């Protein structure tokens, strides 16, 4: 009976190449968050169950979280999301924090769900939240960041669409325009959320049932579900003040040249804690069309902690769907040849050369260079082959001759050229080479810009 080789269901093993891809994504996220003045925080991996129960249904928390009882009898949960935690943190310093507070984190979460395309049990998310701005500029900033977070990696407007809606407008349509009660509204929102997933006939049938077969209401519903812009809405909705925030936001985004932002009357984002504008970023890759991530305004949560309420807008891109977006649009660099140290020392003589290699490695490392040593004692060709495969930039051969002469043989893997360098000049040799590399990199960069 041997141990299993596979990782736990819904989790991923990240080998160096995978990790390089993750680092690439996270580093880009940090650049954009920082560029907008957001500061990084971190919350605990575990939270008491109550913090989620207030917001999500008890059912969801019980069935879809990893939870356990600690030794003190407390019901604890591995965080399934960041919003309650950061809300708690901000609420705890409600009086002393200067507003607006712009905060971000990149963290992992766990949900006990069936893994499928784009969904894992353990996943990482960038959480961006701005606290303390009650006007539309908060949403504007969040959507701009969502755009830039993709644009930073080379995404262009044709690769994705940002769909925007307003919870208050949806409520108006459900209650005032259609005259639905709470239950009907809830069912209708759920139904609209799945509109694109079902055949039209199925939708019509379900809608008719919710509306009690009232043909007048069905006609009114049909008049709104297929509109593409705010202006296409029936006059009694279009001319109501409830459309003002969306109109304002869309106008501002248009002025900024964000051509791929559209109004979507069917966008629902579940119906948890959002109180105003909601939006979703859609991948338009033909083989990958679906919602990547979303966000919106949630003004009601801070107050749940018993402090003066605060308006909040946020967005949370997930690594899983983000990675697939980059792959689908050919935006992920190839990291398969970018791991490994710069310099590999190959001792190819007696055991003396192993000791000498260790000393040389120590000296170079002391000067800030990345160095590894092949201690296998294999023949020179095997050592060379392994080092090249590991993407070493330079090889230092230390054999009996080098030891005797105190001169090292250095090979540039890229060019195949070799130099004989006195042992005492090794460090300055490599720094001169690094300078050359930097210069040529700068030249390339200048060349690109021209």
Residues that bind RNA (CB under 7 A): 6, 9-10, 52, 55-56, 60-61, 64-65, 80-81, 83, 111, 113-119, 190, 194, 197, 269-270, 272-273, 348-349, 376, 378-382, 384-386, 388-389, 395, 397, 399-402, 409, 411, 413-416, 418
Minimum Å gap between C-beta 300 and RNA is 13
Pairing of strands 371-373, 122-131: unpaired
Residue 16, Cβ neighbours under 10 Å: how many?
A: 11
Rounded-to-integer distance, Cα 82 and Cα 235, Å: 40
Judged by CB, which is closer to RNA: 37, or 57? 57
Judged by CB, which is closer to RNA: 93, or 385? 385
Q: Check: CB of residue 132 under 8 Å from CB of residue 96.
A: no
Minimum Å gap between C-beta 123 and RNA is 10
Minimum Å gap between C-beta 388 and RNA is 4
Minimum Å gap between C-beta 76 and RNA is 14
Q: Check: CB of residue 293 under 8 Å from CB of residue 283.
A: no
Minimum Å gap between C-beta 264 and RNA is 15
Residue 72, Cβ neighbours under 10 Å: how many?
A: 6
Residue 176 to residues 164, 200, 220: CA-CA distances in angstroms?
A: 21, 25, 12
Judged by CB, which is closer to RNA: 115, or 154? 115
Residue 413, Cβ neighbours under 10 Å: how many?
A: 15
Rounded-to-integer distance, Cα 176 and Cα 184, Å: 13
Q: Check: CB of residue 307 under 8 Å from CB of residue 91.
A: yes
Judged by CB, which is closer to RNA: 44, or 414? 414
Question: Token digits for 378?
Answer: 């294999």
Minimum Å gap between C-beta 349 and RNA is 6
Question: Token digits for 239?
Answer: 């001319």
Judged by CB, which is closer to RNA: 1, or 235? 1
Judged by CB, which is closer to RNA: 233, or 426? 426
- Name the nearest CA neighbour of 103 among 78, 126, 129, 122: 129
Minimum Å gap between C-beta 152 and RNA is 24
Residue 163 burial class via C-beta count within 10 angstroms: exposed 0-12, middle 13-18, buried 19 and up: buried
Judged by CB, which is closer to RNA: 49, or 97? 49
Q: Which residue has the tokens 């000393």?
A: 359
């Amino acid at each position: 009976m041997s141990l299993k080789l596979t990782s736990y269901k819904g989790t991923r093993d990240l080998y160096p190449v995978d990790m390089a891809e993750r680092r690439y994504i996270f580093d880009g996220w940090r650049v954009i968050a920082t560029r907008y003045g957001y500061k990084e925080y971190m919350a605990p991996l575990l939270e008491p169950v109550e913090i989620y129960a207030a917001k999500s249904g008890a059912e969801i928390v019980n069935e879809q979280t990893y939870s356990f009882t600690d030794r003190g009898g407390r019901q604890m949960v591995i965080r399934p999301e960041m919003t309650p935690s950061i809300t708690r943190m901000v609420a705890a310093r409600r009086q002393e924090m200067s507003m607006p507070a712009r905060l971000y984190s990149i963290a992992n979460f766990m949900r006990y769900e069936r893994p499928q395309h784009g969904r894992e049990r353990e996943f990482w998310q960038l959480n961006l939240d701005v606290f303390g701005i009650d006007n539309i500029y908060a949403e504007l900033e969040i959507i701009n960041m969502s755009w830039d977070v993709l644009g930073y990696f080379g995404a262009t407007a044709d690769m994705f669409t940002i769909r925007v809606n307003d919870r208050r407008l949806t409520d108006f349509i459900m209650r005032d325009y259609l005259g639905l009660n709470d239950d009907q509204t809830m069912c209708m929102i759920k139904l609209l959320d799945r509109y694109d997933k079902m055949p039209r006939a199925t939708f019509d049938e379900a809608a008719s049932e919710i509306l009690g077969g009232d043909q007048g209401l069905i006609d009114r519903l049909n008049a709104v579900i297929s509109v593409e812009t705010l202006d296409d809405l029936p006059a009694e909705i279009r001319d109501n003040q409830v459309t003002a925030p969306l109109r304002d936001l869309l106008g501002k985004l248009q002025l900024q040249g964000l051509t791929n932002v559209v109004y979507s009357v069917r966008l629902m984002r579940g119906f948890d804690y959002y109180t105003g504008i909601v939006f979703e970023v859609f991948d338009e890759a033909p083989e990958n069309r679906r919602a990547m991530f979303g966000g919106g305004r949630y003004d009601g949560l801070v107050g749940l902690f018993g402090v003066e309420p605060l308006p909040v807008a946020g967005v949370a891109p997930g690594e899983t769907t983000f990675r697939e977006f980059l792959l689908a649009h050919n935006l992920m660099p190839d990291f398969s040849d970018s791991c490994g140290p710069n310099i590999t020392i190959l001792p190819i003589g007696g055991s003396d050369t192993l000791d000498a290699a260790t000393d040389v490695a120590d000296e170079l490392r002391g000067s800030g260079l990345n160095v590894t040593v092949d201690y296998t004692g294999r023949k020179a060709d095997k050592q060379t082959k392994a080092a090249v495969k590991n993407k070493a930039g330079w090889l230092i051969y230390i054999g009996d001759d080098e030891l005797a002469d105190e001169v090292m043989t250095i090979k540039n893997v890229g060019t195949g050229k070799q130099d004989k360098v006195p042992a005492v000049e090794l460090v300055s040799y490599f720094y001169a080479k690094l300078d050359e590399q930097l210069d040529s990199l700068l030249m390339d960069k200048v060349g690109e810009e021209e």
